Copies of this chain bind each other. A is one copy, B any other.
Amino acid sequence: MNPPHDGFARRPLPAGLVTALGELLGDRFTTSQAVRDHHGRDESAFPPAPPDAVAFPESTAEVAEIVRRCAAHGVPMIPFGAGTSLEGHVLAVHGGVAIDLARMNRVLAVHPDDLDATVEAGVTRLALNAALRDSGLFFPIDPGADATLGGMAATRASGTNAVRYGTMRENVLALTVVLASGEVVRTGTRARKSAAGYDLTRLFVGSEGTLGIITELTVRLHPQPEALAAAVCRFPSVRAAVETVIRTIQLGIPVARCELLDAATIGAINRHAKLALAEAATVFFEFHGSPAAVKEQAETVQAVAADAGGAGFEWATTPEARTRLWTARHQAYFACLGLRPNCRVVSTDVCVPISRLADCIAATEEDVAATRARIVARSPAAGLPVTLLGHIGDGNFHLGINVDTANPVEVEEAERLNERLVARAIAMGGTSTGEHGIGLGKLDFLEAEHGSAVAVMRALKTALDPQGLLNPGKVLRAT
């Protein structure tokens, strides 16, 4: 898993910058190897690429000052949240200064009547929900990891609740952003909607730190549902599960979550989380609403599922049982990681129109089987455990490809498998990445997916970051 090489030559950090940032931040600026190492990796399989230094600002003004000084010295800057990105977003492949926003972790305002909150970028989603506990509101976006909201906005994250509540795209009202010049802009207001000018909020959401550094966010909140119900249903096939979800959505049932897990994933989480689910294609459902609405939704979905051969609707009625279920779901990544020792998990992320989802998964399962056979033929000691799970209501699914990075045959075959998967998804009208982002890992796929529109993206990058110092090499290849 080598990050794409773009011929960049790293140069040491200018001494003047080190002095200036040390004076500005004191011991909140460091070149310590341990801290740099910590900021040089994420949850991807890419080899680490530590920055030359790490800054820990505590305010937007400090971020702006750091940016001005780095810009004056022509030094790259990499915003850093929780380090849970999956495509090498935070790797300092061009060197430079990591700007760690973890200390900007204040919830600045909660407006219960308006269903919004303004937070600093380093607040994590669990911290925000803890702060909201007594408000009757919650923040739904849930990428699994306890990522920072700044990082989630930067990668346009989503997760299990997106089918009902949308992604970061729909749930960010406004941002405070430090531009490449060090200037600070506010991209919107607390108004629910606006037609005032270009949509800068949506431009920065998903820009992966390459157009500006997000330091504050105003996000939408949602009422905690009066009632919740979660259920597990197993299906005779992935296709039957997908048909059930298509029908559910066509009926206008506002299902809150519907997560597909294949038999291998169920097996892995059974072992990891000490569950005893039947090892079959399974959908985890969750319904939110009034008690009567939840009951009606659940009954309707149960009937639809039964039509498709779904069986064993098992209800998790207590909060504890529900939490146990979703915790197991969220630990699927680690469950996959636990399938073999000393391996890494490559997580794919295509998203297709839901009518093509069953076809896409079927073709991919065949491809996985053929790939595994090829690997074993070339390298008999190897394997290639693959788990599959999907945010099925959105048409988004992930393979967890368990790769022995010491085995070049596995590494190469896993890369080719992902490339074919992306090509398949794009051919079906889909995208290379539903929620993980481009980072370093999908630069070629961006071209394949967007064609000439990549030139538009490049024009925007040049307009907003003419020196190319903001997280260089991510989203677009550095020039």
A446-472 interface (Cβ within 8 A of B): 446, 449-457, 459-464
B-contact bits for A104-116, CB 8 A (1 contact / 0 none): 0000000111111
Quick one: which of A249-307 are within 8 Å of B by CB? Answer: 249-252, 254, 288-290, 292-293, 296, 300
A196 with B433, Cβ < 8 A, contacts A170-B170, A292-B296 known: yes
Name the interface size band of chain A.
Answer: 35 or more
9-residue interface stretch from A49-57, A201-209, A312-320, A337-345: A201-209
Bound CA–CA A227/B479 (angstroms): 56
Interchain CB contact under 8 A, B430 and A193: no
**Quick check: is A354 within 8 A (CB to CB) of the other chain?**
yes
* Cβ-closest chain B residue relative to A300: B290
Q: Could you say which residues of chain B place their CB within 8 Å of the CB of A191? A: 351-353, 395-396, 425, 429-431, 434
Give the residues in chain B near A462, CB-CB below 8 Å.
Answer: 463
A432 within 8 A of B: yes
Is the pair A434, B193 in contact by a Cβ cutoff of 8 Å? yes
Closest residue of B by beta carbon distance from A439: B195
Binds B, one of A92-100, A125-133, A218-226: A218-226
By a CB distance below 8 angstroms, the chain B residues around A205 are 199
Q: Is A372 an interface residue (CB 8 A)?
A: no
- Give the dominant DSSP class at A's interface: loop
Docked CA distance A115–B253 (Å):
13
Q: Tell which of B162, B186, B450, B455 touches A196, judged by Cβ atoms closer than 8 Å.
A: B450
Partner of A223, one of B190, B251, B435, B453: B251
Q: How far is the CB of A252 from chain B (nearest CB, A)?
A: 4
Q: Is the CB of A452 within 8 A of B185?
A: yes
Give CA–CA (A186, B433) in the complex, Å: 17
Nearest B residue to A170, CB-CB: B170
Does residue A329 face the partner (Cβ distance < 8 Å to B)?
no
User: CB distance A193 to B450 under 8 Å?
Assistant: no
User: A412 → chain B, closest Cβ, in Å?
Assistant: 24
Complex interface: chain B residues within 8 A of A451 (CB): 185-186
How far apart sit A226 and B17, CA to CA, in the bound complex (Å)? 64
Q: Which residues of B contact A396 (CB under 8 A)?
A: 191-193
State whether B246 touches A113 (Cβ < 8 A): yes
Taking the closest CB of chain B, its distance from the CB of A383, in whole angstroms, is 30
**Any B CB within 8 A of the CB of A75:** no
A206 touches which of B170, B197, B226 (Cβ 8 Å): B197
Alpha-carbon distance A355/B453, docked complex (angstroms): 40
Decide: A351 and B200 in contact? CB cutoff 8 A: no
Does any Cβ of B come within 8 Å of A407's Cβ? no
Which residues in B have their C-beta under 8 angstroms from that of A459?
463-464
Q: State whether A198 touches B203 (Cβ < 8 A).
A: yes
- 8 Å CB contact of A198 from B193, B395, B445, B457: B457
Does A237 sit within 8 A of B, measured CB to CB?
no
Assess whether B193 is in contact with A432, with CB atoms less than 8 Å apart. Answer: no
Task: Indicate whether A169 reaches chain B with its CB closer than 8 angstroms.
Answer: yes
Docked CA distance A115–B436 (Å): 24
Residues on B with C-beta less than 8 A from A426 are 189
Residue A67 at the B interface, CB < 8 A? no
A398 close to chain B: CB less than 8 A: no
Residue A475 at the chain B interface, CB threshold 8 Å: yes
* 24 examples of A-B residue contacts, CB within 8 angstroms: A111-B353, A111-B355, A113-B354, A114-B354, A155-B195, A166-B170, A169-B202, A170-B170, A189-B431, A191-B351, A195-B436, A196-B449, A197-B438, A197-B450, A197-B457, A197-B475, A198-B457, A202-B202, A203-B203, A226-B251, A254-B254, A290-B300, A462-B463, A463-B463
Interface residues, chain A, with chain B CB atoms under 8 Å away: 111-116, 136, 155-158, 162, 166-167, 169-170, 179, 183-200, 202-203, 205-207, 211, 222-223, 225-226, 246, 249-252, 254, 288-290, 292-293, 296, 300, 349, 351-355, 394-396, 425-426, 429-438, 442, 445-446, 449-457, 459-464, 475-476
Given contacts A113-B353, A169-B202, A463-B463, 9 further A-B contacts (CB under 8 A): A113-B250, A188-B431, A191-B430, A192-B353, A193-B431, A196-B450, A198-B203, A200-B457, A252-B288
Closest 6 CB pairs between A and B?
Answer: A202-B202, A223-B252, A113-B355, A463-B463, A194-B431, A190-B429
